[in-house]
Every structure is written in structure tokens, then in C-alpha cells.
Structure 1
């Protein structure tokens, strides 16, 4: 059985995703439901709070499995949780090709922590847009990564889009 995801990471994701029992289009135009779940979602769909919790657990387990498969250095619970939140939000492929992962696996966790803040843009109505909510989410992930903390006072209540653009080189 894989290691559980730290409670701070679960709370971070819940805080930034928000809970919607009715499907909606996130800022990036992706049908979303529950706590940021996107797979197989159709507009008009409705779920229960219990289903939202189950979807989140499955989605975070998949994100953590990607972290476990791609990271080659030991991680603290906070680091793993922050990375799972990051992968949950932007996907395994973006994480796999990121400088964040390269730095982390290269033995530079502080350099890796500095990469979170580069991932704050989403495509909104066809335009690459810096989203304040993503800025706050990346700050919270960085803090969790560095210090195993999630401070809600840092966080904005804005739900996050699921699709995040690759940062400029």
C-alpha cells in the first residue's frame, strides 16, 4: 500500500480547488467537479460530497504515485504532499519535463522549491494569463515543500484551474 498523503497537502488542495457538487468550467475552460476533478466530467453532472471526497482521494493517490515514480531522492511528507498537489494541478507530463523535477533529482531541493513560482499561468479564453490564485497556490506549495506547513492565511479562496501552462524558458 502506498504512503498516505500528508493532511496539510489534502487541505491545501481542498482549499484551492474548492468544492463544487455541480460540474462547471474552470478558468481554463475544462469541465470540473468536486475538488478539481476533471476526468470524464460533463457539464450538467452532479455528485454528492461523499463522491467528491472519493474522487479527490483517487486523484491525489494518482498524483502521489506519479511523484513516487518520478522522484529519485528521499522526500519528507511535506515535500511529497506539495509535489502531489503540484501534479494534481498541472499533470504528470508537465511535472516530468519540469526544471523543478530536474533540480530535485539533481540533489538541489532549494533550487526545486524556487521553481514552484514559475507555474502561475493558465490559458484563459485562448490567452496565457497569470492567475493570482495560482500565485497563492504555488506560494503555499512552496511553504509546504520547504517547511511542511500549509497556512490558510496565505491562501486565496479562488478555485484553481486544472490546466497550467508550461513556464517560459
Structure 2
């Protein structure tokens, strides 16, 4: 993602669900991801022998015959294959089955995608890149701001050089990762229309889930402050990358504020219409 100064920070989930604890990591270095699957970004890593607590479990892509993914107390997901639970079955309740295992936001009823205005905004500011290349602060990206997870962006399923059409498909693939974490961080009491949602999705896409989680912007929305006021005051603060103010970020934030303030009767959070 263009102009992002840091990789996605570690997520710390707030949950009241009972923890299944004391399970050891059995891989040498195991990635804990922002969602249940290898297509999600790496939030943190665990070392062999490290104990983890499991808040809930869900299904995802199979790893060595086991399609269960464990959500840890750090709020990220690790393939159950790499955790010594003693079974290939469930040792904790299923994510979303009740209690605090659901996201602290709306529990999955959010809009996974963003509207066309939001896609246009993201595409405009990320810019089209046909083959993996360093962005202005040196991070390897391709398409419309896809941050490479593997060497030469080997995880991308579309052929290089990308066309604008396949780059748009890649962007559509990437968006749910960021709308998912945004939904996790917002309380049900935060009411957002589709333009407000799209503007925030663009912001999270740019700054990363971890930075969004710890932001004053999210805290203020959850505290009940007026959304338009929060956006106008908080979004412009996110204008730095690599320790410098970048005019591109200043301009992008202004575009996001304008989109956020554009009236719409279509609700996107907490219940997508």
C-alpha cells in the first residue's frame, strides 16, 4: 500500500470468551494472520515452543489436511496444524458461536466491500503498478497498492504484468482484509453510511490495521463523537510516512474527508444494506 510507513501492527483482541490456553507452537516460525487463511497479512509470528491461548476456532484453507484455524489471544489467526492441541478437532468454541468470540464490532454483518466511490479513491491514490516495484518508501507493491507478502509477489494469482482490469480484481481481493479489521474495531453503536465506510476503508488500506486499531479516530467514534467531526479532525493527522509529511498523503486525506462527508442513505455499518 503506497505511503504506508509501517507493516501491519499486532492486533490485541478484546474478548470475554473463555480462553483455551497452554498450547505450544510446533513450527519453527509460525505466522499469525489477520484472518483465517494464508491470503491474509501477517500480524505477528510465534516461535517453536511458545505457548498461545486460543479464544475461538474457525475453518479456513486446509494446511496438511487440517482446515481449522485458531484465533489467539493476540487477535490473529494461526493454522491449527502448527499448534499442539492434541487433536485435529475443536478444543475451543467456534468463532461467532456466542459469548465474546465474535468481533467486538458487529460480528460479521459489515460490508466486506466498499462502494465504487471508495474504490475510485483508493485506485487514484495508490496508482497503477503493473509489476512488483518499490513504493515511495521502499515497500514492494503491485496493482493498486497490494503489499507483496512473498518474494516477487508470488502470492498474487494474476499474471504479471497486470492490466488495470486484473489490478482492480486484486484490489477487490484485498479490500475485505481491511474492512474486516475495521469492523472488528468499531462498536455497533457507530452508524456509518456507505461513503463514510468507504472513506475509512481507504484510510485503513493506507495506514494498516494495527495503526487504525490504536488510533484516536477509532476511539472517538466508539465514544460516540459525531462521525463527520471525527473524520474532519482526525483523518488529516495521518499525513506522514518515513518520518516526513508527504503532500500526497495530505491530498489523499482531504479526498477521504470529502467522501466521508458526502451524504448517502445507504447504511454500511453496523448492518450492510
| TM-score strictly above 0.5 | yes
Q: CA deviation at 1:144?
A: 1.0
Q: In structure 1, what is the equivalent of residue 241 of structure 2? A: 122
2:212 is matched with which residue: 86, 95, 111? 95
Indicate if the aligned counterparts of 1:77 and 1:148 stay in contact, CA closer than 8 A. no
Shift of 1:93: 0.4
Instruction: Output the CA distance in 1 between the equivalents of 2:152 and 2:137.
Output: 14
How far apart are the structure 1 equivalents of 2:191 and 2:213? 17
Report the equivalent of 2:247. Answer: 132
Q: 1:77 aligns with which of 194, 219, 243?
A: 194
Q: Deviations over 1:25-77 (max 9, x none)?
A: 11111001000001325459834224322220121121111122211112110
Q: Distance in 2 between matches of 1:64 and 1:23?
A: 24
Q: Which stretch shows the higher mean deviation, 47-56 or 101-110?
A: 47-56
Give unpaired runs (5+ residues) of structure 2. Answer: 1-108, 155-159, 265-273
- State the SS of the aligned residue for 1:144: helix
- What is the RMSD of the two structures over their aligned residues, measured on CA atoms? 2.0
Question: Compared with structure 1, are the counterparts of its residues 148 and 32 closer, same or farther at alpha carbon in structure 2 (3 Å cutoff)?
Answer: farther
Structure 1, unaligned runs of 5 or more: 150-169
Separation in structure 1 between the aligned mates of residue 212 and residue 248 of structure 2, nearest angstrom: 19
Instruction: Work out whether residues 95 and 101 of structure 1, in 8 Å CA contact, stay in contact via their aligned partners in 2.
Output: yes
Counterpart in 2 of 1:142? 257
Going from structure 1 to structure 2, the CA distance change for 1:41 and 1:35 (only over 3 Å counts) comes to farther
SS of aligned partner of 1:147: coil
- Specify which structure has the bigger relative contact order, considering alpha-carbon pairs within 8 angstroms and separated by 6 or more residues: 1
Q: From the CA coordinates, give the structure whose radius of gyration is larger.
A: 2
Alignment CA distance shift 1:148-1:93 (3 Å): farther
- Match of 2:146, SS? coil
**CA–CA separation in structure 2 for the residues paired with 1:44 and 1:92:** 20
C-alpha separation between the residues in 1 aligned to 2:116 and 2:166? Answer: 19
Q: How many residues align?
A: 145
